[in-house]
Amino acid sequence: MKRRQFLKGAGLGAGAVAASVAAPAIVSAQESLNWRMVMPWPKGTPGLGTNAEKFAAMVKEMSNGRLNISVFGGGEIVPPFECMDAVEQGVVEMAHGTPYYWQGKNPALNFFSTIPFGLTAWELSAWLRFGEGQKLWEEAYAEFNVVPFYAGNSGMQAGGWFNKEINSLDDLKGLKMRYAGLGGEAMRRAGANVTMMPPGDIMPSMQSGAIDAAEWVGPWNDLAFGLYQVAKFYYTPAFHEPGPGLEIFVGKDKFDALSPDLQAIIRYAAQAISENTLADFTFNNLQSYQPLIDKGVEVRQFPDDVIMTLAEHSKAAVDEIAAKNDLSGRIAASYLDLVKKGARYGKEFEATGLLQRAKVWGY
């Protein structure tokens, strides 16, 4: 049957036709969808790839098989740092990642992952859920026609693996390192030769001598990736990643076309996996720390003068981002307001309590 005859036979006037074209096509309750989700990390990466797969399993179970998500690691469909482009361009429906991997599109995206000396894992979650964070995040991602959902956190990360001790700022000068986010920018301003590479390239780059130092995540992932085999000095904590957030984002057109219950399933499955991910990292980092030390690793902390210089460079970079445009300024102001409140609260509650606990248990 020809389209004109069908419309006439169905009794659809011009107004009804226009309305049907303008409205998004909503997926019916009976229709089954098969989506693809890409990631920047290898499939099965502890805490990262594994929880992305758990999210997909949650969605399938909650939707009774109406929304099936296949998960792909970095490089399987698109290169690791092109996940945002893939969703934006409709190559795939969704992705799992972390916002500062797309900072080339908008440097303000760093705030939704982490910034040096910024929000802890629970503080970031608080800002997104009860502050202005989620609204600002959605506004920032609207430019790319994608919808973001908070998907967890690794907690406080490690400062990285170094093949020599860092005793002064001079030890950073000319050092070739893989360092992510604004921490990498602070290191660059301090004189390091900073590069960014996908997680799967860290180990071979350290082995070949292409880089002298690298940060990845923390004990669990660093042990799994075997980084203790290529560097002796392990610096903790990560000044630049006090609580880096993870995300799941969906193409807006695809999300809008879902029925309300499937939209809710994605939203609440992401919320569930966010708690699961932080708990997963917390438990396994605690379990992995001593085995990592048993490999002969020497744990170090950056000297105070190095930390304060990196803080100055970090603040300068943050100020430059905030001054770029109105949205960046609003994101920075909202985020930093909670950081400053958290700095005092954290010192007098969490930090003091943790130091007291360490003394009681002999550390």
Residue holding tokens 């036709």? 17
Distance CA 285, CA 262 (A): 34
Distance CA 286, CA 205 (A): 27
Query: Coil, helix or strand for 209?
Result: coil
Distance CA 246, CA 249 (A): 10
Q: 247 forms bridges with which residues in the sheet?
A: 97, 150
Distance CA 143, CA 125 (A): 23
Residue holding tokens 């050092």? 175
Q: Would you give per-residue pLDDT tens digits along the chain (363 residues)?
A: 333 333 333 344 434 433 444 455 665 556 899 999 999 999 999 999 999 999 999 999 999 999 999 999 999 999 999 999 999 999 999 999 999 999 999 999 999 999 999 999 999 999 999 999 999 999 999 999 999 999 999 999 999 999 999 999 999 999 999 999 999 999 999 999 999 999 999 999 999 999 999 999 999 999 999 999 999 999 999 999 999 999 999 999 999 999 999 999 999 999 999 999 999 999 999 999 999 999 999 999 999 999 999 999 999 999 999 999 999 999 999 999 999 999 999 999 999 999 999 999 999
Distance CA 38, CA 92 (A): 7
157 assigned to a ligand binding site:
yes
216 assigned to a ligand binding site:
yes
